[in-house]
Structure 1
Amino acid sequence: MGMKHYPAEFKADAVALYRSRSGATIKSVAADLGVNTETLRNWIRAADGRRPGAHSTQPAAARTGGDDVQAELAAARKRIRELEEERDILRKAARYFANGDALVNRYQFVEDHQRRHGVKRLCDILGLSRSSFYYWRRTAAARAARRAVEAGIAARIRKAHQESDGTYGAPRITAELRDEGGQVINHKRVARITRTIGLEGVRLRPRHRTTLADQAAAKAPDLICRDFTASAVNTKYVGDITYLPVRGAKPLYLATVIDLASRRLAGWAIADHMRAELVIDALTAAEKTRGNLTGAVIHTDHGSQYTSRSFAEICRSAGVRQSMGAIGSSADNAAAESFNAAFKRETLKGRKGWSSEREARLEAFRWLTRYNTRRRHSRLGQRSPISYENALQPAPTTLTQAA
């Protein structure tokens, strides 16, 4: 079910996603998005101002036949060899920086590859001072001793944290260690090691509400009754809103429309607000994906966006019947809640938020598109939603685009 016509925003987001992923190939990004490799390559060329299908060329050097030209060619070849060697070195170094570009990773890379490339060459490429590298090497034994001590402290921290059922943070763990061993241990050191090994105590955090019910608004009947299955595609959908936390800034909001038969994300939209336009854009995207939604059911919670007059009007014009569960019951929209949880778990991966709005949008774009095209779903026999639909009844559709 590939699409024939891609919206301009989809092309721009695809190019931005490719450029934001260091080391990614056009083929891998195209596979994630479910598009042809050459199609994505042409989008990138178009964004660079080059004619699709053209190959970049370099002007031919003038043939003077003199010694100066030969010298210049020899110098150019030498520079090319140096650049190729630098490229190879940086590719090897990238493996050392998988967990962050820390100085210790750079020093270790120089230590491991100095015989082949030389300390000076490696330090120049990695932006290191040779004197700093030699100091790091001289102090290796002392660092190893400190690491051994801290490994022992880390084991005791894990034990104390486990025995508290994961509720103790650094202050209480520090007290436990002091009582246990009778020795003075700095609380800052305990806090640092605790963070390093990824432990933290239980903290009550305010829940970010995305469902704000309008008590005066008209309510739709429950046509789903917690039966989150469907015998055919384009008959039953669930819709919901979740927030995308951005560090140091206001969050974004994601509205989704999910087909209960194939679990396909038929429509979605992202915005920096929770007005009714957000859910209208998501439903409009679903209508474009399916061609029409006549006779389908859309089940949601009682959020003011879904009970608004404007959303009811767009449902009527699309031939969609509205359905709503009980107020305050997440179980009445469990399929949408489960999707939201998987999305955040697999994109944030334990982080508390994205570093910027751009990062949040690009990661959401990649995951949401990949969810349809590649992510295997247990309810679908470990097939992706689009693969599942292709097996049911191959028919041309278009991929959804965020508003």
Structure 2
Amino acid sequence: MTAWLRYREGFRVNEKRVRRVMGEHGLLVLQRVYRAKRTSQRSKPRAERPRQYWGIDMTKFLISSLGWVYLVIVLDWYTKKVVGWNLSLRSKASDWRKALDRAINREFPSGVRGAGLKLVSDNGSQPTSTSFMRDMKVLGIEQIFTSYDNPKGNAETERMMRTIKEEVIWLNEFSSLEEAREKMGRWVEVDYNQLYVHSGLGYRSPEEFEGLYFGQKSAFLWDESTSRGGYLDMGWPEKTV
């Protein structure tokens, strides 16, 4: 909130004052305290451009009327943008493919083969399944698996998943899968990709940061009536890397 007021609204405020005022109005949410676990540091891939390294991960949460539902996200490590996601009643490799297909169709409309894309994941049953690995080979996507004893290998994506839990999952009581998809879609595409500012991105949102990289403004628009989004054709050149 402090970053938003400073860099979006132009107010000269400090974090202590913002926290005090929000506390007086009952707007503070208790946060879990995460303590760093001291382990041996290993090198991990470092993205130097958009669409170079993507991370993929899954979490589950409970909808009382349905049971467990499973969320898969695909994160661009360079722009911090959620480029793909899928929410379903299953956690099969095909559900992971749906999230990845969504990302590919969005970021590589002319095809991903030959783009040098690398996909980072853990050693779960879905990304290591025969069908998933075969599909990655056909698409020309290089898979990178984190070491069993290296939890930092996919830290960017896991951190994003934690943010989704704090901002969406833990703050809502969903009554249906459709409601969960609608709220998740709006948060990902609007509240996060377009508006969520990152200090590591110069206090810009993922879409803004990507737009600066390509020398153009983002035009990904979210349609409330269909809970779907797409890039608006503004006559810009196709996004390439």
> Residues 397 and 287 from structure 1, CA distance in 2 versus in 1: closer, same or farther, beyond 3 angstroms?
farther
Alignment partners' CA distance in 2, 1:397 and 1:312: 33
Q: Which residue of 2 is the match for residue 390 of structure 1?
A: 211
Counterpart residue identity of residue 81, structure 2: R
> Residues 328 and 246 from structure 1, CA distance in 2 versus in 1: closer, same or farther, beyond 3 angstroms?
farther
Alignment partners' CA distance in 2, 1:281 and 1:269: 6
> Quick one: which of 44, 52, 57 aligns to 1:240?
57
| Structure with more of its chain in strand, by fraction | 2
Contact 2:72/2:85, CA 8 A, preserved across alignment: yes
User: Residue by residue, what CA displacement relative to the aligned partner does 1:42-67 show, whole Å, maximum 9, x if unpaired?
Assistant: xxxxxxxxxxxxxxxxxxxxxxxxxx
Residue 348 (structure 1) shift: 3.5
Q: Secondary structure of the residue that 1:331 maps to in structure 2?
A: helix
Residue 325 (structure 1) shift: 0.7
Q: Under a length normalisation based on structure 2, what TM-score does the superposition of the two structures give?
A: 0.66
Contact 1:237/1:299, CA 8 A, preserved across alignment: yes
User: Residue by residue, what CA displacement relative to the aligned partner does 1:20-47 show, whole Å, maximum 9, x if unpaired?
Assistant: xxxxxxxxxxxxxxxxxxxxxxxxxxxx
| Runs of 4+ residues deviating >4 angstroms | 395-402
Which blocks of at least 5 consecutive residues in structure 1 are unaligned? 1-98, 100-197, 200-224
Q: Secondary structure of the residue that 2:104 maps to in structure 1?
A: helix
Say whether residues 1:259 and 2:71 are aligned partners. no
Alignment partners' CA distance in 1, 2:116 and 2:219: 18
> Quick one: which of 185, 189, 208 aligns to 1:365?
185
Contact 1:347/1:367, CA 8 A, preserved across alignment: yes
Alignment partners' CA distance in 1, 2:104 and 2:157: 18
CA RMSD of aligned residues (A): 2.8
| Structure with more of its chain in helix, by fraction | 1
The percent identity for this pair of structures is 27
Matches within 5 A, 1:76-225: none
Contact 1:226/1:331, CA 8 A, preserved across alignment: no
Number of residues paired by the alignment? 180
Which blocks of at least 5 consecutive residues in structure 2 are unaligned? 1-25, 31-41, 223-227, 230-241
Counterpart residue identity of residue 269, structure 1: N
Q: Secondary structure of the residue that 1:251 maps to in structure 2?
A: strand
Q: Which residue of 1 is the match for residue 92 of structure 2?
A: 275
Alignment partners' CA distance in 2, 1:289 and 1:399: 12
Contact 1:290/1:397, CA 8 A, preserved across alignment: no
Contact 2:61/2:169, CA 8 A, preserved across alignment: no
> Residues 276 and 398 from structure 1, CA distance in 2 versus in 1: closer, same or farther, beyond 3 angstroms?
farther
Q: Under a length normalisation based on structure 1, what TM-score does the superposition of the two structures give?
A: 0.41
Q: Which residue of 2 is the match for residue 336 of structure 1?
A: 157
